[in-house]
C-alpha cells in the first residue's frame, strides 16, 4: 500500500504518529511525506488553492493529512485527485482543526472524485472499514486498540498488541500493564494513556460532551476489559 502523508514541520502529534506507523506497519507499505514549513494565510489559500499544493505529489492509494489547520485540510481532495488516491483518512484529535462544516465539504468533494473518506475522532477510534480496501488495510494494524493478555494467578504477565493507536500509546500501555493485578488493569490503562501522554484535545467536544482525550482513554480501557473477558471465557 502506498501512503502519502501531508503534515507540517515540527508538529509533535504528527511526528509521533508518523514514527509509530513507520516502525510498526507492514514492510510492504510505502510512504511519502510532505511537510509544510509555513502555513499560508487563509486569504491566499482561498484565492490560489493550486499554488499551495505540495510541490511533489506522488502516486498513492491513501492520503493521510496530519495536524493541518482546516484551510490546508481542504486541499486534500485536490491532492487525492492528482495522486490517484482511492481513500483518505482524516483523523481528528482536535475538533477545531476539522470542524463539522469542513468535514461535510470534504465528504462531498471526495465523493465527487470517487475517493472514500473517513474521519476518525480520535484517530484511535478507527475500525475495520470493508467498503474500501486501503482504509481497511490501514485499520487492520492501526486504530481502535485490540490486545491479548496472559495472566499468572491474578497478575498480568504478557500483553500482545494486535492493533494499536496510531500514536503508539497502546504499545506503551501494554508494557505498563505487566505485573499489574487484573482487577486494577482498566484503571492503570487509562492512567498510563494520560502519562504517555495522549495529545488529543482536552477541550469538551460538542458531539461527545466529553474531551477527545477522555474518549481515547475509554478506548484503551475497553480494550483491556475485553481482553480480560476473553481470558475468563476460556477458563
> 173-195: per-residue pLDDT in tens?
999 999 999 999 999 999 999 99
* Structural domains of the chain in order of their starting residue, each with its CATH number: 2-141 (3.40.50.720), 146-234 (3.90.1010)
Residue 155 has pLDDT above 90, yes or no: yes
Phi, psi of 195 (to 5 degrees): -75, -20
Q: pTM for the full model?
A: 0.94
**14-45, pLDDT tens digit by residue?**
999 999 999 999 999 999 999 999 877 766 66
**pLDDT-based confidence at residue 50 (cuts at 50, 70, 90):** confident
Percent of the chain with pLDDT over 90: 85
What are the angstrom distances between the C-alpha of 120 and each of 65, 103, 117, 124, 215? 12, 11, 10, 7, 12
The runs of H, that is alpha helices, within the chain are 12-24, 42-47, 70-73, 76-83, 100-112, 133-141, 169-176, 185-195, 212-234
Amino acid at each position: 500500500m502506498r501512503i502519502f502523508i501531508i503534515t507540517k514541520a515540527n508538529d509533535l502529534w504528527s511526528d509521533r504518529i508518523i514514527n509509530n506507523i513507520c516502525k510498526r506497519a507492514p514492510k510492504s507499505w510505502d510512504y511519502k511525506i510532505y511537510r509544510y514549513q509555513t502555513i499560508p494565510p487563509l486569504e491566499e489559500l482561498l484565492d490560489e488553492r493550486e499554488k499551495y499544493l505540495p510541490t511533489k505529489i506522488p502516486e498513492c492509494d491513501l492520503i493521510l493529512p496530519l495536524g493541518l489547520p482546516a484551510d490546508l485540510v481542504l486541499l486534500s481532495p485536490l491532492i487525492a485527485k492528482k495522486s490517484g488516491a482511492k481513500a483518505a483518512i482524516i483523523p481528528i484529535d482536535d475538533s477545531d482543526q476539522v470542524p463539522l462544516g469542513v468535514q461535510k465539504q470534504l465528504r462531498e468533494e471526495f465523493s465527487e472524485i470517487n475517493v472514500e473518506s473517513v474521519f476518525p475522532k480520535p484517530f484511535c477510534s478507527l475500525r475495520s472499514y470493508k467498503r474500501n480496501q486501503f482504509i481497511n488495510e490501514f485499520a487492520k494494524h492501526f486504530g481502535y486498540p485490540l490486545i491479548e493478555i496472559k495472566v499468572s494467578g491474578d497478575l498480568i504477565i504478557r500483553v500482545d498488541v494486535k492493533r494499536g493507536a496510531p500514536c503508539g500509546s497502546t504499545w506503551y500501555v501494554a508494557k505498563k500493564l505487566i505485573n499489574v493485578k487484573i482487577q486494577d488493569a482498566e484503571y492503570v490503562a487509562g492512567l498510563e494513556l494520560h502519562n504517555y501522554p495522549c495529545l488529543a484535545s482536552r477541550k469538551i467536544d460538542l458531539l461527545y460532551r466529553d474531551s477527545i482525550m477522555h474518549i481515547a482513554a475509554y478506548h484503551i480501557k475497553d480494550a483491556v476489559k475485553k481482553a480480560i473477558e476473553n481470558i475468563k471465557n476460556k477458563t
